[in-house]
Structure 1
Amino acid sequence: MGLGISPGLLMLVAFFWLPWLSDVGAQSTGSARALDALLQDYAYQAFKALNKPKTGIPYDGAVPLNLTGIGISALRLRSGSLRSRGVTMYKEFEIPKGVVVTPYVERLIFVYQNLGNLSSVYYPLPGYAYLAPVLGLLPYDASNLSATNLPELHINASDKPISIKFQGVSSVPAGSVAKCVWFDLDGFPNFSNAVSGNICSTAQQGHFGIVVESNAPAPSPPPSVVPSPSGGEKGGTSKVWIIVGSVVGGLALLVLLAFLVLWLRKYKRRKKMQQMEKAAEVGEALRMTSVGNTKAPAAMVTRTQPIIENEYMP
């Protein structure tokens, strides 16, 4: 092979490295999105367990043991009914009329999430402390109740915003101001002022919470929320190793790709030479003739017979 490295070996090494690098990126950015997909599946199972689930009635779902503390529910609606009537109260969410769903679907399901004591795990917010669990409201297409990994629909409350009335909110420390935080589907936080200490509003889907700056005295936790365990030094060390592993893995992958490119170039060059040699061998063979004591190739001679154009002579 020229370089002494089998192309099969290069492919095999790249095959094992690429999934590892992809998994490292997923661990750092996709945990909350993976949770949304999982909770959508479990929320839909609440409908599948019923013989004839009704539209407009919320059904609570069950989560696996490793997600104990998270609450989910599902509410199926017609898009036309949502726009013309809204929803008086769905858990902590009051959805007014005039909400438009895009892309349009005949029926949709609102999946409700209460992340409980896992709020800061999936939606960490440095410099702030949660006064209430993070709540999620995500719409999905309801045409297939067995579907999984569905993309979220987009809602827009154009006339009046959706109101969120948080329950069990911890008291705000003296000198602090409660703020609403909205996380979009990419996990970016957006802050606004809370109304009456426990009411937030939104025009779109996403995840929502009430926070205060953490430099204020620590608020007393709500009765139903268990404080989430801290990752501490172990979590920081894990992140360092992930970064180091990503860098080393990336460099190793670049080296392998460089070897692969060099091998491909040499392979193409050799292939071209083989084609040229084959073309030369396929050419027409010349007849050999003797010239003295030496044999040499000679081409066939074809004499053109003269033809008289006009035999008439004046």
Structure 2
Amino acid sequence: MNFNTGGSLLLFPSLAMLFSFLCLFLFLVPTLLAQSSDTNASSTSAAARALDTLLQDYAYRAFVRPKTGVLYDGVVPSNLTGVQIAAMRLRSGSMRTRGVEMYKEFQIPIGVVEQPYVERLVLVYQNLGNWSLRYYPLQNQTYLAPVLGLLAYDASDLSAKNLPELDLRAFGDPIKIRFSNVESVPKGSVRKCVWFDLHGLVEFSNLTAPNECSTIHQGHFSIVTESISPPSPAPGRRKKMQEMEKAADAGEALHMTTVGDTKAPSATVTRTQPTLETEYVP
């Protein structure tokens, strides 16, 4: 018997190569997708940090013959219309022993300390308004309030730019953020506080009071709720729609009719006109 093994010998290496390529493809795709996601997150975080640097510069420009403990509203560049900033210079010891009763939406209690120690510091306030989602995007979450920022900087040189943030921490009572103009949520939805630190970390927590969040750190804060997808049609209605679509494919003419706020197909019905007795012809 003469077996032609040449084709088989060529076939097996081809299958092996195809299998190897398939395994490599299945391994690389999730890796590439993960790298792409990490790159996007890193890019967003870098943009947010660049914004902090820019807003620090413009907040410091609000100081003209500044007085300690006085709030000064700043002006942002025209291409950031909608963002609000402010600055307040404080003595380090005064903030630690007295706190700040109310700085915009932030209530700073006694016992807040900065690291490293500086003689005077500046608290920069941010309200990102309609820019919140752009700089702090969240998947499957809807913002109910704008992102608010509270960052601390050295106040030794009020003309300085590109300053690093100080590490601000509350060692007693937490810092409270009392949001105003918080949007309402559908019945059954749960509101959550969200905190963004300066390194890309995101944490969710419960509200401590209506429209109020608390923190022991500086950073950016808001109130969010989980996004709700539009409801899918009921099973019975979905089945009816499928049957009507099949009828349309088979050639039966369908027309659209309005049911409540929804348009749905309906079959055309031809009614037989009644014949009057006077029209009857034998």
Please give the per-residue CA displacement for 1:207-235, whole angstroms capped at 9, x wherever unaligned: 00000001268xxxxxxxxxxxxxxxxxx
Cross-structure match for 1:196? 209
The answer to whether the 8 Å contact 2:44/2:136 transfers is: no
Select which of 54, 62, 70 maps to 1:46.
Answer: 62
Matched, 1:146 2:159: yes
Cross-structure match for 2:123? 110
- In 2, Cα distance between equivalents of 1:180 and 1:172: 14
How much does 1:26 deviate? Answer: 7.4
Q: Which amino acid aligns with 1:162?
A: I
Matched, 1:182 2:198: no
- In 2, Cα distance between equivalents of 1:88 and 1:189: 27
The answer to whether the 8 Å contact 1:176/1:216 transfers is: no
The answer to whether the 8 Å contact 2:59/2:75 transfers is: yes
Runs of 4+ in 1 over 6 A off after TM superposition: none
- In 1, Cα distance between equivalents of 2:159 and 2:42: 25
TM-score by length of 2: 0.66
Identity of aligned residues (%): 65
Unaligned runs of at least 5 residues, structure 1: 1-23, 218-314
Please give the per-residue CA displacement for 1:160-193, whole angstroms capped at 9, x wherever unaligned: 0000000100012210111000000012210000
The alignment's C-alpha RMSD in Å is 1.8
Aligned length: 192
Cross-structure match for 2:134? 121
Select which of 105, 110, 113 maps to 1:97.
Answer: 110
- In 2, Cα distance between equivalents of 1:104 and 1:158: 15
Select which of 180, 183, 208 maps to 1:170.
Answer: 183
Please give the per-residue CA displacement for 1:241-264, whole angstroms capped at 9, x wherever unaligned: xxxxxxxxxxxxxxxxxxxxxxxx
Unaligned runs of at least 5 residues, structure 2: 1-39, 231-282
- In 1, Cα distance between equivalents of 2:102 and 2:229: 33
Please give the per-residue CA displacement for 1:74-119, whole angstroms capped at 9, x wherever unaligned: 0100000000000000000000001111100000000000000000
The answer to whether the 8 Å contact 2:44/2:135 transfers is: no
How much does 1:31 deviate? Answer: 0.3
Matched, 1:86 2:99: yes
Q: Which has the larger radius of gyration?
A: 1
